[in-house]
């Protein structure tokens, strides 16, 4: 694996001049993934922050062939691109080169409206990497809840009020849904741990077949946090075990990072405005319930560590 | 003495929420999409407080499908969207037409095609509101132009949906949806609210598509009336049929129930048409530019007037045909490349028809319309 210095020296494939927010988790994630291979890349992006922020006419931040199609179909679009490439290669219309195909989508475009397209592409065994930048809500349209939104989050469509205290449902476990497609490689990662993320991207991109990365992406706008705290919060999501780093390679699960000391969930929640209501004394039971569920999920994951699932 | 009602500064989409709640809407299912999201956000805050239910669905199709379910269970149901989402909802829209399920769908029009211009206005879904779903089907679309009117027209949309047992579209452009104007929330009872007709017959005598009725009453699920609902052509009990007579009759009845009541469904605003020589036909924010243009033209000594359909579908054939016999020319400004103008041409008997179009995400300004009016002088 390349060192940080070597990675930094590589060509920037998502250049400066994009309009994503200060402190947004998306650019470091995308840049690191694009740097994790030297092969040419063709990418597609679902409607969302990444698409809007990098391609406002007449500018583009992409130094690679890039397609935005619609909200629900990034995985279907990359399927077509990849299949066409194979057909063209087979008939000798284009030179035989190792080209990597990547689809990017946010949690809305992946967990929700894009799930059908993703599932189809995984099942058809297209040779591509799907990257979900999961910031836990529809941030591009103004912070509406998604099925990735953490429990009790205050969003504009799960407002924390007297009648209902924020989002009532536990987040969908998308990584496990992808694993259930028997893909050769799927992993969860976070931008604060660049070595782990880059290694996972490198692994995924080296595999011939459908692969998947689910990456925690801090969002100062929707989390109501300070821009400069994003990477710290990404780390806390992992150290509190809300967002475990693990991979499933050929069916074998491996937890790639185990915090020496598991931090209380409140340390990740407290700096985030979307969880403000959880820190009212009368809502302590909610905080406890949240912690309990995180503990349970972490325990379940540890039990699977090193096992074929 | 009634308390003097306070004016409230409100956004168009917020007024839509007020209208839906006034009409008795208790169920919302939808998906976030600019520039309609404020409707979902508003409903998510308001419905839980009144014992209603808000659900954010996994996609646009889920949004309308759940609203159909909510309506079948007996609740007045709403979903809201914009361009790409309206495209995704089309199959279910046709389902609601054929299965005769009351429902209100708001489409806040943004620039298209495709993702288009999410934050810019458009009126390019005019034909989609009528023909977006496949097959012949009835269509009702109301087209408010003012924030206050979004409230009242949303109430009317619910009334039409319940009365005619059919989906109704509230169609307005992004400008009206995001515009803020002072409005008055009407007092309870001030606006008519139509509730769904109750089923009175015995459960074993109930047929949801009983051909003896022009509009058979719809029994809510869970009230003891067992019946079948399907998107296939069906018999009076709701079960699918291959019988051509029954297919034909069913298809004709869903059209007839609208066509027989056009005078009750049509609604137009007319400004200065009594002596007009040149008329403008416009909807939504374009009608606001047109009103200004017509007044300007009058001050220049040109006899101009405005016909503003508040019911766009079914198209006001009668009003346009009558108008066309009296005026020299009809100007149709619209933020698309020529959709409503085709309907005006179809209905016009004598007058010359001229479209004024724009699809660059900017509104049609009064100056453009004045120029068109002057071209006939």
pLDDT digits (tens, 9 = 90+) for B325-347: 999 999 999 999 999 999 999 99
Which of B 249-288 lie inside 8 A of A, CB atoms? Answer: none
Contact of A71 with chain B, judged by CB distance below 8 Å, is answered with yes
Residue B179 lies in a domain: yes
User: Do the Cβ atoms of A113 and B60 come within 8 Å?
Assistant: yes
- Chain B residue with Cα closest to A143: B32
Q: Evaluate whether B280 touches B307 at the Cβ level (below 8 Å).
A: yes
- The backbone region for A69, taken as left when phi is positive above 0, alpha when psi lies in -120 to 50, beta otherwise, is alpha
CB contact under 8 A, B45 and A72: no
Residue B62 CA to residue B77 CA, distance in Å, equals 14
Edge-first strand order for the sheet with B352-357 is B268-271, B304-309, B278-281, B329-334, B352-357
Q: Per the domain annotation, does A39 fall within a domain?
A: yes
Residue in A72, A113, A141 closest to B34 by CB: A141
| Cβ–Cβ gap A161/B48 under 8 Å | yes
Q: Measure Cα distances from A11 to A5, A7, A64, B164 in Å.
A: 12, 9, 11, 63
Within-domain flag for A49: yes
Q: Phi and psi (nearest 5°) for A160?
A: -80, 105
Query: Facing residues of A132 across strands?
Result: A105, A214
Q: How far apart are the first and last CA of chain A?
A: 27
Residue A2 confidence (pLDDT): 81
Strands, E assignment, A118-249? 129-134, 185-189, 211-216, 246-249
Of B34, B37, B58, the CB nearest to A147: B58
CB contact under 8 A, B48 and A163: yes
Q: Answer whether B107's CB lies under 8 Å from B169's CB.
A: yes
Contact: B32, A71; criterion CB under 8 Å: no
Note down the domain range covering A188: 4-304
What residues of chain B, 35 to 74, have a C-beta less than 8 Å from chain A? 37, 40-41, 44-45, 48-49, 54, 56, 58-60
Judge contact between B373 and B298, C-beta under 8 A. Answer: no
Partners of residue A72 in chain B, C-beta under 8 Å: 59, 88
Q: Which of A136, A141, A172, A222 to mutate to test the interface with B (most CBs of B within 10 A)?
A: A141
CATH number of the domain where residue B84 is located? 3.40.50.970
Assess B32–A contact: CB distance below 8 Å, yes or no.
yes
Q: Mean per-residue pLDDT for B251-278?
A: 97
> Are B11 and B113 in the same domain?
yes
Task: Check if A53 contacts B (Cβ < 8 Å).
Answer: no
Distance from CA of B213 to the nearest CA of A (A): 40
What is the model's pTM?
0.93
Please, which pLDDT band fits residue B4 given cuts at 50, 70 and 90? low
Quote the CA–CA distance of B33 and B80 in Å, as a whole number. 9
Share of chain B above pLDDT 90, in %: 97
A-B CB pairs within 8 A amount to 54
| Rounded Cα gap, residues B273 and B143, in angstroms | 20
Contacts of A80 (CB under 8 A, 6+ apart): none
| Chain B, window 204-233: residues with a beta carbon less than 8 angstroms from a chain A beta carbon | none
* pLDDT surpassing 90 at residue B2: no
> CA-CA-CA-CA torsion for B155, B161, B167, B172, nearest 10 degrees?
-20
Of B41, B59, B115, the CB nearest to A113: B59
In Å, how far is B336's CA from the nearest CA of chain A?
21
Closest CA of chain A from B189, distance in Å? 27
Domain count, chain A: 1
Contact by Cβ (8 Å): A185, A204: yes
B106 within a domain of the structure (yes/no): yes
> Domain boundary at B130, B156, B184, which?
B184
A159·B44 Cβ contact <8 A: yes
Residue of A nearest to B28 (CA): A157
In a domain, B156, yes or no: yes
Cα dihedral B162/B164/B167/B172 (nearest 10): -90
Share of chain A above pLDDT 70, in %: 100
B335: CATH: 3.40.50.920
In this structure, the number of other CB atoms found within 10 A of the CB of residue B240 comes to 14
State residue B3's pLDDT score.
56
CB of A113 within 8 Å of a chain B CB? The answer is yes
B22 and B157 inside one domain: yes
* Number of domains comprising chain B: 2
A31 Cα to chain B: minimum distance (Å): 25
**B292 in a structural domain:** yes
Where among B121, B152, B184 does a domain terminate? B184
Where does residue B140 fall: left (phi above 0), alpha (psi -120 to 50 degrees), or beta otherwise? beta
Give B42's contacts in chain A (Cβ within 8 Å). Answer: none
Last residue of a domain, one of B159, B184, B209: B184
User: CA B67, B70, B76 angle in degrees (round to 5)?
Assistant: 90
Candidates A157, A165, A169, partner chain B, best to mutate (most B CBs within 10 A): A157
Nearest to B374 by CA among B251, B277, B308: B277
Interface contact B141, partner A, CB < 8 A: no
Is B30 part of any domain?
A: yes
Residues 117-156 of A with CB under 8 A from B: 138, 141-142, 144-145, 147, 156
- Tell me if B32 and A112 make a contact (CB, 8 A cut-off): no
Q: How many CA atoms lie within 13 A of B169 on its CB side?
A: 34
List the alpha helices (DSSP H) in chain B: 12-22, 37-46, 60-72, 83-88, 90-99, 126-131, 147-164, 174-178, 244-259, 262-265, 284-299, 317-326, 340-347, 366-374
Q: Output b/e per residue, A186-215; b: 16+ Cβ within 10 A.
A: bbbbbbbbbebbbbbbebbbeeeebbbbbb
Provide the domain limits for residue B303.
269-374
In a shared domain, residues B178 and B305: no
Contacts with B, A 207-246, CB within 8 Å? none
CATH code, domain with A145? 3.40.50.970
Supply the DSSP symbol for B176: H
Number of other residues whose CB lies within 10 A of the CB of residue A278: 26
**Chain B residues with CB inside 8 Å of A144's CB?**
32, 37, 40-41, 56
Q: Residue B5's pLDDT band (boundaries 50, 70, 90)?
A: confident
- The answer to whether residues B167 and B27 belong to one domain is yes
What distances in angstroms separate CA A9 from CA A3, B80, B242, one per listed residue?
10, 48, 69
Cβ pair A163:B115 closer than 8 A: no
Does B301 reside within a domain?
yes
Instruction: Kindly state whether residues B24 and B173 are assigned to the same domain.
Output: yes
Query: pLDDT digit string (tens) for B31-49?
Result: 999 999 999 999 999 999 9
Residue to mutate among A52, A53, A113, with most B CBs inside 10 A, is A113
Residue A112 is nearest to which of B54, B59, B84, comparing CB atoms? B59
Question: In this structure, is residue A309 part of a structural domain?
Answer: no
Residues of A in contact with B115 (CB under 8 A): 47, 68, 70-71
The reply to whether B70 falls in a domain is yes
- Cα(B163)–Cα(A164) distance, integer angstroms: 33
> Does residue B225 form part of some domain?
no
**Is the separation of the CB atoms in B362 and B284 below 8 Å?**
no
Residues of chain A with pLDDT under 70: none
Q: How many helices (H) and strands (E) does chain B have?
A: 14, 15
Cα–Cα distance measured from residue B17 to residue B256, given in angstroms and rounded to the nearest whole number = 31
* pLDDT on residue B1: 44
Q: How many residues in chain A?
A: 309
Q: Which residues of A147-156 are buried (b: 16+ CB within 10 A; e: fewer)?
A: bbbbbbbbbb
What proportion of chain B, given as a percentage, has pLDDT over 70?
Answer: 99
Same domain, B180 and B284: no
């Amino acid at each position: 694996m390349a060192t940080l210095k070597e990675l930094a020296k590589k060509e920037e494939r998502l250049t400066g001049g994009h309009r994503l927010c200060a402190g947004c988790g998306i650019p470091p994630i995308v840049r690191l993934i694009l740097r994790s291979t030297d092969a040419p890349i063709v990418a597609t992006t679902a409607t969302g922050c990444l698409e809007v922020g990098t391609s406002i006419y007449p500018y583009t931040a992409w130094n690679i062939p890039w397609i935005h199609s619609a909200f629900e179909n990034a995985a279907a679009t990359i399927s077509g691109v990849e299949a066409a490439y194979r057909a063209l290669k087979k008939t000798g219309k284009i030179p035989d080169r190792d080209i990597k195909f990547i689809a990017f989508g946010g949690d809305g475009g992946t967990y929700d409206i894009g799930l059908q397209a993703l599932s189809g592409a995984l099942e058809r065994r297209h040779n591509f990497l799907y990257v979900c930048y999961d910031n836990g809500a529809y941030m591009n349209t103004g912070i509406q809840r998604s099925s990735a939104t953490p429990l009790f989050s205050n969003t504009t469509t799960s407002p924390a009020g007297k009648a209902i205290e924020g989002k009532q449902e536990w987040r969908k476990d998308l990584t496990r849904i992808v694993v259930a497609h028997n893909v050769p490689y799927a992993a969860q990662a976070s931008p604060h741990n660049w070595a782990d993320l880059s290694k996972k991207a490198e692994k995924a991109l080296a595999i011939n077949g459908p692969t998947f990365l689910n990456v925690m992406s801090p969002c100062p706008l929707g989390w109501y946090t300070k821009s400069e705290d994003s990477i710290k919060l990404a780390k806390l999501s992992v150290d509190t075990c809300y967002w475990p780093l693990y991979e499933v390679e050929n069916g074998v699960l491996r937890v790639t990072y185990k915090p020496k000391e598991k931090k209380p969930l409140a340390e990740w929640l407290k700096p985030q405005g979307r969880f403000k209501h959880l820190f009212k004394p009368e809502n302590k039971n909610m905080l406890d319930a949240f912690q309990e569920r995180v503990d349970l999920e972490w325990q379940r994951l540890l039990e699977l560590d090193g096992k074929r699932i | 003495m009634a308390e003097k009602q306070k004016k409230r500064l409100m956004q168009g989409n917020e007024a839509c929420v007020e209208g839906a709640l006034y009409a008795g809407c208790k169920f919302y299912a939808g998906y976030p999409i600019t520039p309609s999201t404020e409707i979902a956000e508003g409903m998510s805050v308001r419905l839980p407080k009144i014992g209603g239910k808000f659900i954010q669905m996994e996609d646009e199709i889920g949004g309308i499908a759940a609203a159909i379910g909510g309506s079948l269970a007996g609740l007045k149901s709403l979903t809201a969207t914009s361009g790409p989402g309206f495209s995704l909802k089309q199959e279910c829209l046709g389902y609601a037409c054929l299965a005769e399920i009351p429902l209100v769908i708001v489409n806040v029009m943004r620039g298209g095609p495709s993702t288009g211009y999410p934050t810019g206005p458009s009126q390019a879904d005019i034909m989609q509101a009528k023909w977006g779903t496949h097959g012949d089907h009835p269509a009702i679309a109301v087209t408010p132009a003012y924030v206050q009117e979004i409230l009242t027209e949303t109430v009317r949309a619910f009334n039409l949906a319940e009365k005619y047992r059919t989906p109704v579209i509230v169609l307005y452009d992004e400008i009206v949806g995001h515009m803020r104007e002072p409005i008055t929330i009407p007092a309870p009872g001030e606006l008519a609210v139509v509730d769904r007709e109750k089923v009175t017959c015995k459960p074993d005598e109930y047929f949801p598509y009983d051909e003896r009725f022009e509009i058979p009453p719809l029994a809510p699920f869970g009230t003891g009336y067992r019946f079948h609902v399907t998107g296939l052509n069906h018999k009076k009990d709701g079960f699918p049929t291959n019988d051509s007579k029954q297919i034909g009759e069913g298809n004709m009845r869903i059209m007839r129930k609208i066509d027989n009541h056009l005078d009750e469904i049509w609604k137009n605003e007319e400004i200065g048409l009594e002596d007009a020589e040149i008329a403008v036909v416009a909807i939504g924010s374009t009608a606001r530019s047109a009103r200004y243009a017509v007044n300007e033209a009058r001050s220049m000594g040109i006899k101009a007037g405005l016909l503003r359909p508040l019911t766009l579908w079914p198209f006001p054939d009668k009003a346009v045909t009558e108008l066309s016999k009296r005026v020299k020319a009809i100007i149709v400004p619209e933020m698309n490349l020529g959709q409503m103008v085709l309907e005006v041409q179809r209905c016009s008997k004598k007058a010359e028809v001229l479209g004024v179009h724009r699809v660059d995400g900017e509104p049609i300004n009064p100056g453009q319309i004045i120029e068109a009016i002057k071209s006939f002088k």
